[in-house]
Amino acid sequence: MTSRWTTAVLDTDQPGGWAVARSPEGFLFDDNGALFPREWLKRQDLSILAEHGIGHLDGEPVYLLELRSTSEVPGCNWKGLRAFMLDGDHTIYKVLGYAAQIGTWAREHRFCGNCGQAMTQVPRERAMYCQPCDLRSYPRISPSMIVLVTRGDEVLLARSPRFVTGVYSTLAGFAEPGESAEDCLIREVREEVQIEVKNIQYMGSQCWPFPHSMMLGFHAEYAGGEIVCQEDEIEDAQWFNVHDLPPLPASKSIARYLIDVYVARRLGHAEPVLPG
C-alpha cells in the first residue's frame, strides 16, 4: 500500500494546492475538514506569520499558514491537534501533526540562537539559516522513552496529575544528553517509581507531535524494588492484573499499544498493530 501522505519542501511562490491554517487555538476546520483550497484561504482575513510548503496528500501539494493570532472565518471553527488525533481520519491527523511540528519549530527559530539576527527559510531544505554565522537549524525532535514494566500477569501503570481522571498509563520520559535509550529508560523508571527492570525489549516507535516527541516504546520485566511515587510527577502507581485494568490511554497512542500487546500475549489473543 502506498502512503497517501508524503512530506516535502514545496516552493511557496507556486500557486494552488491545499492549505491548513494554524493559530494558537489549533487548526481551522469546517464541514469538509481541515484542508482548504489554498488560494481561497489566503483571501480570508488571517494574520499570517509564515507559510510553509509541507508535502503531498493524494498527490496534491499541501501548505501550512502559520498565524500570529486566531481570527473569525465564516462557517469555520478552530480545534486542537489532540482532538484531531482522537477522532477523525488518521492520515489527516498525520498531515496536521507534521504541520504543527514545522509551524512550532519555524516560529521558535526566527532568530539565530548564536548572534540574535533574523534567520531565513532555506529553499528546498527544511532548515532555518543565519548567513553571518553560516548556521542551520533543523526541526527539533525530542527522543522520549516509554515502557511497560510487567511482572507475570501484572503490569505497572501510573497516573500523572495531568492525566484525565482515572486514567493510568505506562511510564515515559525524555532522554538527556549522554544517555542511551536503555540508560534513559532505567533512570526514568527509577525516578518515577523506584523500581528496577531487566530484559529490556524494543517494541516500536511513534511520532508524538505534542510538541515534538519521538516515542521509543519498550517492554521491560520487573527486577526488584517497591513502588514509591515521585513527588509532583506521579500521583499514583500500581500493579494491575491484566484481567482487571483501569481506564487506559487513547487507542492510537503507543502507551495503549504497549499495554494491548502484552495483554494480548498473556491472554492468547491476536496482537494489535501500532498506529504510525
Ligand X SMILES: NC(=O)C1=CN([C@@H]2O[C@H](COP(=O)(O)OP(=O)(O)OC[C@H]3O[C@@H](n4cnc5c(N)ncnc54)[C@H](O)[C@@H]3O)[C@@H](O)[C@H]2O)C=CC1
Binding mask 181-200 for ligand X (x = CB under 6 A): -------x------------
Q: CB–CB of 45/68 below 8 Å?
A: no
Candidate ranges 77-85, 120-128, 142-150, 259-267; the one touching ligand X (CB under 6 A): 142-150
Using CB under 6 A as the binding criterion, the count of chain residues that bind ligand X stands at: 17
- Would the annotation count 196 as a binding residue? no
Q: CB–CB of 95/84 below 8 Å?
A: no
> Which residue type does 131 have?
Q
- Would the annotation count 76 as a binding residue? no
133 binds Zn ion (CB under 5 A): yes
State the Cα–Cα distance between residues 87 and 200, nearest whole angstrom: 33
Q: CB–CB of 248/256 below 8 Å?
A: yes
State the Cα–Cα distance between residues 109 and 125, nearest whole angstrom: 15
Task: Give the total residue count for the chain.
Answer: 276
Nearest CB to ligand X, comparing residues 49 and 181: 181
Instruction: Report the residue from 23, 137, 150, 169 that binds ligand X according to the rule CB under 6 A.
Output: 169
Instruction: Report the residue from 80, 139, 143, 173 that binds Mg ion according to the rule CB under 5 A.
Output: 173
- Would the annotation count 115 as a binding residue? yes
Q: Which residues of 47-76 are buried (b: 16+ CB within 10 A; e: fewer)?
A: eebbbbbbbbbeeebbbbbbbeebeebeeb
Residues that constitute the known binding site for a divalent metal cation: 172, 188, 192, 233
* Contacts to Mg ion by CB under 5 A: 172-173
* Contacts to ligand X by CB under 6 A: 142, 144, 146, 169, 172-174, 188, 206, 208, 210, 213, 215, 249, 253-255
